[in-house]
Amino acid sequence: MKIVVIGGTGLIGSKLVTKLGEHGHEAVAAAPNTGVNTLTGEGLAEVLKGAQVVVDVSNSPSFERDAVMTFFQTSTGNVLAAEKEAGVGHHVAVSIVGTERMPDNGYFAAKIAQERLIEESGIPYSLVHSTQFFEFARGIADEATRDGKVHIAPVLFQPIAGDDVAQAVGRTAVGAPLNGRVEIAGPRQYRMDEFFRQALAAWGDPREVVTDPHARYFGSELGERSLVPLDDTRAVLGSITYRDWLDRAAADGK
C-alpha cells in the first residue's frame, strides 16, 4: 500500500515512515525538504500518484494565531484538493485531545478549522486525537516559567511517547476509515503539577514547580479534564512510560 506522509521528515512523521516501511508498505515522506510544499501545492500531484492513503502530521512553522490558522487552512485545503484529483481513499490527520474544550487557544482553533475541512471534504477520513508528547515536556515547562519558577495547574495530564503515537497512527492508516475520531494517550494519568515535579527532578533541573490553579497552558486556563480523553474506556493507550522513555533517550544520547 502506498501511504504518503505529509510532514514525513518531522518528529512523528519520520517514525511513522519507518514503522510503515517495516510492515511492507510504500511509505513516502512528503515535506519541503523532499520537494513537496503543501502551502504552494508544489510537488503534491506527483507524490500522490498511486497513493491509497495520506497521513497528515505536518505542523505550522509559526504558532502566532493568524499564521497558524492560515497554515492549516491553506495546507489542508491544498492536500485535500490534490487527493481528490489522485483518487486517494483515506485521509488521516493527527490532532489534539481537547481542541474543542479550549477554543480561545489560537492553535487549537486552527486545528478545529483543519478538522472541519477534512470532515466536509467528502474523502473518507480518520482523525487521531493525541495527548501531549513526552518529547515536548521541556518546552511546556519552559513556556510555563515565570521568574524562574514553573507554574503548572493541578489538572489531569496523560502524555504519550512519540513512538506510541506513530504506532497508533500507522494502525489507523492501514485500517478502514473511521469517518470520525479516535483518542490516544499515554499509559499513566498524572496530576500535571506532580508530573512536572517528577520530570524536573529526573532532568536535574533545579526550578521549583508552583501549583497554580490559574496557570495558563499556552494562553488557555485549564479545566480538570482539558488535556485528557473524555472517555477513558475508549481511548487507545500507549505502552511506554515516561521513565522508560527517559531511559531510552539517555541511552540514545538525547
C-alpha cell at 12: 512523528
Extract the residue ranges of the chain whose pLDDT is less than 70: 253-254
Instruction: Give the Cβ contact number of residue 253 at 10 Å.
Output: 5
Is the separation of the CB atoms in 152 and 194 below 8 Å? no
Is the separation of the CB atoms in 44 and 22 below 8 Å? no
Helix, strand, or coil (residue 220): strand
| pLDDT at site 253 | 67
Q: Which domain holds residue 14?
A: 2-251
> What are the pLDDT digits (tens) for 154-178?
999 999 999 999 999 999 999 999 9
| pLDDT at site 102 | 83
Residue 67 CA to residue 221 CA, distance in Å, equals 22
| pLDDT at site 254 | 59
| pLDDT at site 16 | 97
Is the separation of the CB atoms in 58 and 6 below 8 Å? yes
> How many domains does the chain divide into?
1
What's the CATH number where 239 sits? 3.40.50.720
